[in-house]
Amino acid sequence: MTETVIVLDPISESTATRLRALLPPGLVLEHGTSRDEAHQQAIIAEADYAISGQIAVPGSVLRAARRLKLLHKWGVGTDNLDLVTAAELGIKVARTTGSNAIPVAEFTISLMIAALRNLAFGHAELMKGNWRGWGSLPVESYTLSGKTVGIVGFGAIGKAVARMLSGFDCEILYNKSRRLTVDEEQRLGVAYADLPTLLATADVVTLHCPLTPATTGMIDRAALRTMKPTAVLVNVARGGVVIEDDLIAALRAREIHSAAMDVFEIEPLPSDHPLLTLDNIVVTPHIAAGTVDNFDKTVRHMFRNITHAHEGTPIPAQDIVVG
């Protein structure tokens, strides 16, 4: 029997064509064309399996599903999905654990360098015809090599960042809820630090933790004030980990050197958001995980899990979030 997969995110027809080329037998794929909740409710009503990338899936949308077996995250972070309602309705939730570690880690390194070296500012000014060379930049430029980098959250992405930083001769501190073994720390060339020590010591603080009640608002004005005035904050985790109003105030006051962000409290970021008025920030529209050469790998991973649900076989335990 043919069953229906719905991608809830509005995607292009070219992306839909690429997805359909990888679709396993017995499945057909449709996709959203709007973020409007009524539209989301209408399309999920016809879905056997639903996929969400960045679009929120609240309980009101899930309750409109008539036969949904599985809600699958296209990626890793599930904070945009109403897991409580999914569990109440008996809808399984899964994700593609580890699928985006390398793309996000590479992007993280690029954001570090971009912030440290004024790349975004220099580019934007030159595109306007303004030659803002060394000496006329908003903040001083620094190398990444030889710096202390603090990694907050040390799963697949955090570990990939640590491995990539080895070529920069950085001292690497990490913080996570469960400390690694001594052998693991030595193999990765990292040292554990509690969060206050990491924030006070690191030249670059990079966030790779999930958004949970414990991490929501974790980087506030008080935390920012413990960082070095020459430090850079990178956030490729989730927007809610950082209180944006506090970060804006800290950047305007030059309490830290700069920031680089790929994720925000509200997405899409409003065009009049005050973050966009700053000269010591790099902002990108939640694109760290997306690369052409990682597309097929991630989609095949996701479709394998959907096939398990389609055939009634177990989804691998590391990918199950609810169910």
* Residue 221 designated active-site: no
**Residues 233, 236, 238, 244, Cα dihedral to 10°:** 30
In three-state secondary structure terms, 205 is strand
Catalytic member of 3, 30, 265, 267? 267
Catalytic member of 31, 257, 286, 301? 286
Euclidean distance between CA atoms 30 and 46, whole angstroms: 10
Q: What H or E segment, with its residue span, contains residue 149?
A: strand 148-152
Tokens read off for 100: 């985006």
Euclidean distance between CA atoms 293 and 114, whole angstroms: 23
Tokens read off for 231: 């430090």
Catalytic member of 31, 72, 95, 238? 238
CA 86 to chain CA mean position, Å = 22
Euclidean distance between CA atoms 215 and 213, whole angstroms: 6
What's the DSSP call for residue 81?
B
Euclidean distance between CA atoms 79 and 212, whole angstroms: 8
In three-state secondary structure terms, 109 is helix
Q: What H or E segment, with its residue span, contains residue 4?
A: strand 3-10
268 prior amide bond cis, ω within 30: yes
* Residue 308 designated active-site: no
* Residue 267 designated active-site: yes
Euclidean distance between CA atoms 109 and 114, whole angstroms: 9
Tokens 């966030």 identify what position? 207
Q: Which residues are catalytic?
A: 238, 267, 286
